[in-house]
Amino acid sequence: MTLLATSPVTGAPATGLTSPTFTLAADKAPTVNASQWVVTALGGTQTNVEASTIGQPFTLAAFKPASFKPLAVNELGQAVRTSGRDVWKANVRKGVATSTQSGTALTEIMQIDVIFNVPVGAPDADPTSVRAAISLLAGWLWTNSIDIGDAIVTGRA
């Protein structure tokens, strides 16, 4: 799989995190069509954040389609609109502490999924638009990292 994570990863700006970096090590992927890395160390100022542990995993995974769909064509050799989609996915899993009404802290897994549903044939016919869409998403996540994190923590969007 060509999706790689070069360690360390510089994190995007976030409230309470100053120049965050994440040291990664290769991890056992959940499926054969995936690559996974575990966060082994943190850099910058990340008070109250933990690297991955057995009880609180902190992982990054990238999934490619298990098999690519062919472009469907009709009897005239013309592309058919219902060719389907190839699905790519990335996710981050992080163990987080939660509170119960009794005040007992519990650990749960937070999961963030990013899914790319790519129409079959688009990477060949319009690669620049495919790249532009991904660039937009990555840029929006990067420039809005603080606001997205704050919105999730405060419940105010």
How many structural domains comprise the chain? 1
Q: Are 65 and 59 in contact (CB under 8 A)?
A: no
Residue 2's pLDDT is what?
64
Q: Grade residue 107 by pLDDT with cuts at 50, 70 and 90.
A: confident
Residue 153 within any structural domain of the chain: no
Name the one residue in this structure whose structure tokens are 């990340």.
46
- Residue 62's nearest CA partner among 121, 136, 9, 122 is 9
Residue 126's pLDDT is what?
92
pLDDT (average), residues 127-150:
92
Distances (CA, A) of 60 to 4, 103, 105: 10, 30, 25
Residue 105 within any structural domain of the chain: yes
pTM of the model: 0.85
Residue 141 within any structural domain of the chain: no
Residue 95 within any structural domain of the chain: yes
Residue 156 within any structural domain of the chain: no
Residue 38 within any structural domain of the chain: yes
Domain range for 13 is: 9-67+83-118
Residue 49's pLDDT is what?
93
> Is residue 28 scored above 90 in pLDDT?
yes
